[in-house]
Structure 1
Amino acid sequence: MLGAGLTALGWTSAAALTPTESAAAQRLVAAYPAFLRGVEGGALVWREGTRTPLTRSAAQTYAARLNAPGLLDQLDAAYPACAPLTAPAYLSDPGRARFEPLFRKMYGASEAAVRAGLVTVNWFGQPLQVTRVNGAADSLRAVAQDLAAHPEWRPFLTPSAGTFLWRAVAGTPRRSVHSFGAAIDLNTARAAYWQWSGFREGQRGIPWRNQFPAGLVHTFERRGWIWGGRWYHLDTMHFEYRPELTGACATGR
């Protein structure tokens, strides 16, 4: 019955995890220890005992896989934390595929549930609402403290374009990570975003443009945040809390 249900949802279960998949799943467990206990028999095991099968999308197109990825699709991301800032390859969007049931189970399945976990973070005098779940708010406070030592970066940091907003990604059925209070957008006046130039998702030739200093980006990454400027579908104002993807960088702090 489980296999039939996964197929109906457009997911296929893995017969056995490869060493790479297993390592990625273990990094997920290590990143969210308050919720996850381990990996057993091709499933993620939650601390309260439920199991989430490690699946992969059966979709044949890039957009369809983003719309309904399996958990293994999310774990496929090889995010280059603390590496030099360079133009990503075509359709290289590490961290952009998000298995929504995972986020809903941790942060809240409704706007009201997410709001219950929000706290205020002082972002250079601007109060921002960020989730305390998984230590995201504490991490952002640490980022701000680190960045305060670099006043030359302030024009990129403020004003922030926002954190929590319960919404879908524009033009898609995907829930934005802003919905879970685990993302921040920086100053839009210094940012580049792929849709602003009129490109379609998956279109070739999206130009990579960036003004954000590498040191600023690496400061976020060392604290567990990924950057939208590392995506082919670039979003240079955007950072989201995804410590499962930045662990190697964080250990070098």
Structure 2
Amino acid sequence: MKKKVICYALIIFNILSFTGKVYGAEDNYDITMKRDLLILSIAYPGYIVDFEKNDNGNIYVIMKSGQKHIYDDKRKKTFEEKFANPDIQDVMEQIYPLESIDKIMDKNIDPGRIRHYGILNEVYGKNRGEIEKNLKATTEGVTFNNKNGAVEQLNKAFKGARELCKREGKAAACFYPINGTYNYRVISGTGMLSPHAYAIAIDLNRNNKDYWKWATLEQGNERIREYSKELPKVFEENNFVWGGKWSHFDILHYEYRPEIILKAKYFGDESKEREHWYDGVPKDIENLQEYIEKIDKL
């Protein structure tokens, strides 16, 4: 009898444990999905207007134009497939590290390097003509896209960088001369438009150890160690990701990606206890409650 009781207890324990793990996984997925949708709403106000769940349970992001983009296509993909044909979940998956680094990131850790072209096309221009109509000169003379606050944030970064360069020679050597911003071209080795084609990326002073296709991993690590620690922070404070924090390193490259930086700021610290899934987002963000209510209805 005692053995039977023990067996029943073990069976019940295993069922509860198994069930708990499954529910936990589902809860974590849903929480991450909700946070991603909220961050996108904050990062692209006026462009992302609603969300929709279809009969199959697929979540779609609805753009101002009426175009719909699936959040998660549920396909298992290699890293290369995610880069070439991402859904929104693929774009938002990796958390960007806001802390300083002293070496190249581990293999295929590229937060912000995966891009959703459907969103970029709608926000910044879907062809060369549209993009060039959106170009505006900056305080450093280069042009940048004037949609979604991009040029304003770059000018703020420039101001911070100039102040930093006055007190830190290392930063000045990394910053000047600026290599360029707008260039309507594809990424080398792909048929995909470069973020420079959208005028949302800037390359600073070039070094032969800056790019993963030019340099060895050892050279990349050397460059990271000698690079200014403060300059990336100036750009990150203004919603730019730094290509130095990619395993496919691009150390001279900064890219305006508010969704990546805001997710890192608001939800990057997983050790924080949160009562609600949206805790961590500043409460004074315009239309925040409206965004939350739309997402909670899904």
- TM-score normalised to the size of structure 1? 0.82
Alignment partner of 2:159 out of 145, 152, 157: 145
Q: What residue identity is the alignment partner of 1:53?
A: I
Q: Distance in 2 between matches of 1:65 and 1:163?
A: 25
* Correspondence for 2:214: 196
Q: Is the 1:161–1:186 Cα contact (8 Å) retained in structure 2?
A: yes
1:135-177 deviations in Å (ceiling 9; x for gaps): 1100011111112212232221111111011111100122111
State the shift of 1:191 in Å: 5.4
State the shift of 1:59 in Å: 6.1
Greater mean deviation of Cα atoms: 93-102 or 36-45 = 36-45
Alignment partner of 2:100 out of 69, 76, 84: 84
State the shift of 1:51 in Å: 2.6
State the shift of 1:57 in Å: 7.2
Q: Is the 2:178–2:205 Cα contact (8 Å) retained in structure 1?
A: yes
Change (3 A) 1:207 1:216: closer
Alignment partner of 2:256 out of 237, 241, 249: 241
Q: Is the 1:34–1:134 Cα contact (8 Å) retained in structure 2?
A: no
Q: Is the 1:66–1:97 Cα contact (8 Å) retained in structure 2?
A: yes
Q: Is the 2:182–2:197 Cα contact (8 Å) retained in structure 1?
A: yes
* Correspondence for 1:202: none
Q: Distance in 2 between matches of 1:22 and 1:191?
A: 39
Q: Is the 1:186–1:238 Cα contact (8 Å) retained in structure 2?
A: yes
Task: Count residues in correspondence.
Answer: 228
Higher share of residues assigned strand = 1
2:244 aligned counterpart, secondary structure = helix
Give runs of aligned pairs for residues 9-24 of structure 1, distance below 5 A.
Answer: 18-24=30-36
Higher share of residues assigned helix = 2
Q: Distance in 1 between matches of 2:245 and 2:132?
A: 29
Give runs of aligned pairs for residues 79-118 of structure 1, distance below 5 A.
Answer: 79-81=96-98, 83-87=99-103, 88-118=105-135
Q: Distance in 2 between matches of 1:101 and 1:207?
A: 32
Alignment partner of 1:71 out of 81, 88, 99: 88
Change (3 A) 1:113 1:226: same
Give runs of aligned pairs for residues 117-136 of structure 1, distance below 5 A.
Answer: 117-123=134-140, 127-136=141-150
Change (3 A) 1:89 1:56: farther
Alignment partner of 1:179 out of 193, 197, 215: 197
* Correspondence for 2:62: 45
Change (3 A) 1:60 1:35: closer
Q: Distance in 2 between matches of 1:65 and 1:206?
A: 27
Structure 1 or 2, whichever has the larger Rg, is 2
Contiguous gaps of at least 5 residues in structure 1: 1-16, 200-204
- 1:214 matched to 2:223? The reply is no
Q: Is the 1:93–1:232 Cα contact (8 Å) retained in structure 2?
A: yes
Q: Is the 1:184–1:238 Cα contact (8 Å) retained in structure 2?
A: yes
Q: Distance in 1 between matches of 2:93 and 2:241?
A: 15
Q: What residue identity is the alignment partner of 2:84?
A: N
State the shift of 1:207 in Å: 4.9
Q: Is the 2:209–2:215 Cα contact (8 Å) retained in structure 1?
A: no
State the shift of 1:133 in Å: 0.5
1:188 aligned counterpart, secondary structure = coil
Greater mean deviation of Cα atoms: 240-249 or 226-235 = 240-249
* Correspondence for 1:170: 188
Q: Is the 2:211–2:220 Cα contact (8 Å) retained in structure 1?
A: no
Q: Distance in 2 between matches of 1:40 and 1:168?
A: 32
